[in-house]
Amino acid sequence: MILCIDSGNTRVKLALGDARGWQHLCALPKDCFAQDLAETLADWPRPQRAIGCNVAGATVAAGIEAILAKLDIPLAWLRGTATLAGVSNGYDCPDQLGADRWAALIGAHHLHAGASLVVSAGTATTIDTIDANGVFQGGLILPGLTLMRTSLANAAAQLPEASGSYTALPRNTDDAIASGAIEATVGAIERMFKPIAAEPGASCLLTGGAASELVQHLRIPLQHLGDLVLRGLMRVACD
């Protein structure tokens, strides 16, 4: 069995399984992940090895490494490379591509035969294009939905920490901020999808903690895959 770890800015997501699928899957808050990770692994079957991606910084990575070392579980961190698992990295400097984006692109290519727009909606939202041949063409990074809302409250004295709801024509400030964040993100996604829309089987593969807020607003072919990064990690581990 292989342990896959997606260490993000808000949560540490874990999956235990093999090429056939997951036996266990969970998400832990980043703020208290160390104790939770140790307790979770104590309850799961022991993996032979682990593979992970980390965008939460060196302290979190060191904490994960320490826990797995105590359990004698070898760990490999995924990093951006020029090619991997049949996917080519079109970034100017391939090693600068975030490991979570790289894993999601690899997962997307092996789950979907056509061109894909790979969207990860988390603390940041990334919108990446990969063609049917597995070549990453490039993509966008923009603030995530929550970050958009809080940045307005932090930078503009008269705007609140919005807790509004989406509406097409907002008539109060909270709804205007919440709706603006969604419309801005959906607009960017749909605009990025246009260049591949006419390709056979083109689809948007959507993942991340905020994905559920976007699904109902998107008007493009769509697959919502909560474990896309983890699936990419498993593909690399089994390649």
Residues known to be catalytic: 100
Left, alpha or beta for 101 (phi > 0: left; psi -120 to 50: alpha)?
A: alpha
Cα angle for residues 161, 162, 167 (degrees, 5° grid): 170
Provide the edge-to-edge strand list for the sheet that holds 203-207.
83-84, 87-89, 135-143, 124-130, 116-121, 203-207, 222-224
168 vs 188: CA distance, rounded Å: 17
- For the record, the structure tokens of 192 come out as 């990025």
Say how many CA atoms lie within 13 Å of 220 toward its Cβ: 27
125 vs 144: CA distance, rounded Å: 5
Residue type, 137: Q
- Interacting residues of 123 by C-beta distance below 8 A, sequence separation 6+: 8, 9, 10, 144, 146, 147
DSSP 120-162: EESSEEEEEEE-TTSEEEEEEEEE-HHHHHHHHHHH-TT----
Whether 224 and 211 have beta carbons less than 8 Å apart is answered as yes
- For the record, the structure tokens of 183 come out as 């419309």
